[in-house]
Amino acid sequence: MKLDVLQPEVIVDITGLRDVSMHRIDRSAGELRIGSLVSMAALHEDQSIGRDYPILIESLWQAASQQLRNMARLGGNVLQRTRCSYFRDPSFEQCNKRVPGSGCAALDGANRGHAILGTSEHCIALYAGDWAPALVALDARVEILGRTGLRTLDVADLHRLPGQTPHIETNLVPGELITAIIVPGGPRRRSLYRKIRDRQSYQFANASAAVALELEGDVVRDVRIGLGGVATIPWRARKAEKALLGARLNEASARAAADAEFRDARTRKQNLYKVPLGKATLVRSLLEAQAMEVA
């Protein structure tokens, strides 16, 4: 809105909603339920979450500044929009996401920061957030309240690939509100989030990896991987997961998994570097998760 990209006729402030469950972190039902109006800072400062879900705390700590974390709510954070400079500057006429059917200036323009996975010939805009890839790696769901009641949706299915309709970004329908984020099951202590960026603070990812791992010795019993900084949506790395499941985790198997995931990457002139960087980030994250000392 500040950039004049959007001019909504009506804005609804939901911070005053009194439903306490939207403001609360609740673990009483054997799962982690985070109200959508909990701030990034409140979750980040919860020490029991830091112990049991390091992946969540690390993804929040590396997202935004402290001032923004104090204000930003977790339900809104998953819906953050692209940083594509052509989308955010209305003086550019070609942007299918902002003006459907107008073209995509990024395809042959400044595309160093754009996506290489999940793209289409209509849009290559990056999903730039850190929190949603971590949620994807935890198999989290969003709880949604709409006109017909409550429903849930996997975070991995919340965002839509751009395809031919990049202006339709999520599978939410008009009138729906995210009320909570639900992480099923118990603690995921062998989990982490690694983010590579041009500078170490207040910067979006060039590549990131969120890994939740369960090992028996060196054998992978369960693994879930979310990728950021490389895809049009918070990316569930299912090909890498499949390659790792039941395998011994070592540098060679981690590399093979990363190769499998990035095999279908589609690069443009300025973002070729994201293939080796994305792979290296994933390999490093897997090996660091393996090396974690877990009580």
> What is the contact surface with ligand SF4 in residues (CB under 6 A)?
82, 84, 86-87, 95-97, 104-106, 123-125, 166
Give Cβ neighbours of residue 159 (< 8 Å, ≥ 6 apart): 127, 132, 169, 170, 171, 232, 233, 234
- Least distance from C-beta 104 to ligand SF4, angstroms? 3
- Least distance from C-beta 85 to ligand SF4, angstroms? 8
Nearer to ligand SF4 by C-beta: 56 or 115?
115
Nearer to ligand SF4 by C-beta: 59 or 82?
82
- E-state strands within 117-229: 141-146, 149-154, 177-183, 191-196, 207-216, 219-228
Read off the amino acid at residue 262: F
Give Cβ neighbours of residue 126 (< 8 Å, ≥ 6 apart): 82, 83, 84, 113, 114, 115, 204, 229, 230, 231, 232
- Least distance from C-beta 159 to ligand SF4, angstroms? 14
Nearer to ligand SF4 by C-beta: 96 or 281?
96
- Least distance from C-beta 3 to ligand SF4, angstroms? 13
Phi, psi of 220 (to 5 degrees): -80, 110
- Least distance from C-beta 204 to ligand SF4, angstroms? 14
Task: Please give the order of strands across the beta sheet that includes 149-154.
Answer: 25-26, 32-35, 177-183, 141-146, 149-154
- Least distance from C-beta 54 to ligand SF4, angstroms? 33
H or E segment to which residue 61 belongs: helix 54-61
Write out the two tokens for 126.
Answer: 């990056």
Distance linking the first and last C-alpha atoms of the chain: 46
- Least distance from C-beta 167 to ligand SF4, angstroms? 8
Nearer to ligand SF4 by C-beta: 34 or 125?
125
Q: Are strands 177-183 and 32-35 parallel, antiparallel or unpaired?
A: antiparallel
Q: How many CB atoms lie within 10 A of CB 290?
A: 16
Nearer to ligand SF4 by C-beta: 124 or 172?
124
- Helix %, strand %, coil % of the chain (to 5): 25, 20, 50
- Least distance from C-beta 88 to ligand SF4, angstroms? 8
Contact 96, 67 (CB under 8 A): no
Nearer to ligand SF4 by C-beta: 35 or 166?
166
What is the sign, positive or negative, of the torsion defined by CA atoms of 222, 226, 230, 234?
Answer: positive
Nearer to ligand SF4 by C-beta: 27 or 160?
160
